Structure 1
Amino acid sequence: MPAILNYAEAYQAGLQQRYAANGLLYTQKLWNSPSNSVLKFSGTKTIKVPKLLIKNGRKDRTRRSITAVEANYENQWETYELTNERYWSTLVDPIDVDETQQVTSIANITNSFDDLFEQIQEIEVVMMATFFVERYAEVGLNRLKEPIYQWQRDSDPVNGWFDMLTGDEASSTNSFIAESSHIFVTEDVTLDISSQCRLYNNKSGLTFEITYVDNPVELDHHLEIYCKRVV
């Protein structure tokens, strides 16, 4: 049987290679993230993300006795569904193609669309994420005149890039990163944020605890915010 060509995959790969070589695809490293290999696609719109659950911690034991050993973990899956679909279309009249000596061919029109950066901007936007910073702040007093604290959400969103950690990231802060499941990178180096804050994504409704905030080499180029999901 002849091989089946997946045009969408081939076209996507061609776009990434073309614009990454020219330095135009800033999210190339995220598109090629090693964590992509741990994702599982179910159908065309559903993505399953593995989640390792440890059932029990340490237990007391009796010396010189052998206890039965059993699996103390469970591999669970978090399911996400792609809800947004995008498309671009055009109509080409064969007479126009002939009269313009192939200038208005579908290949040239598609290349012009890509070169005007609409296509590359779409790719970048898909990889970008928007979060709101939450802070634990005093909101009032109870009947005993004691302060009441609640999580308060900033009104201004923070834009950046969000990705899963693979577990092999090299850093001098491994103890913090080991507790993290994701990383959020933002170019807003003036952002007032610390491990006492949280990140909230209004699209997914998920909240993430912040475990570590890093300004690499203090260059004020970007912030790397390590976090883990609040269950």
Structure 2
Amino acid sequence: MLLTKFTHSCVRLEKDGAVLVIDPGTFSEVEEALRGADTVLITHEHPDHYDAERLGVALSADPELTVHAPGQVIEKLAEHITDTDRLHAVSADTTFTAGPFSVATYGGQHALIHPLIPTIANVGYVIDDAVFHPGDSFTVPHGLTVPTVLVPLHAPWSKMSEVIDFIIATRAQRVYQIHDALLSETGFGVVEKQVKHFSQVYGTEYRHLDTRESVEVHTA
């Protein structure tokens, strides 16, 4: 399975001629990421994780494109198309298939930003028991050790110690960064130095992926 990182939290997975895209948000290269896509997974309704306008255009242009997302996202996307049977509301602790991909969902709630800011639904996705995209959450998949984990590297709702603890808790073989659009070059240097060090201490390989960089992810 080929994994390609786009800006911020958007990733594209390709397998057996099928394409699955997770979180094509406003910071990301949405049209490029969605080119030839069959399925889109959205973790939550924040615009840096899904661009309603550009995803709506893609849905209108491709009658075969399907979306799985929390209910709030599905309700908004339904305003863009008439054949809403292509839109699927998902919650945590479920499984489904998307073409050749198997998908399991985890979590359920966005990480706390501030007590005065209401929390929203957030669904993390495990693809083929091989890749975990947590969205905006540090939920660790229960009952499963996923070899490749995408870690939210920097966010208004997190601190570096929580990033490190999340990586340690997952026991992943390898980790790639997402949720990084707000970091400067200097910020990357500071955060990744510590994250890489502590990942290695606990037996996890941390590797930085540039925008549009691809890596092979091995599935069982």
Bin for the TM-score computed over the shorter chain: under 0.3
TM-score normalised by the chain length of structure 2: 0.22
Q: Which has the higher contact order (CA 8 A, sep 6+)?
A: 2
Larger Rg: 1
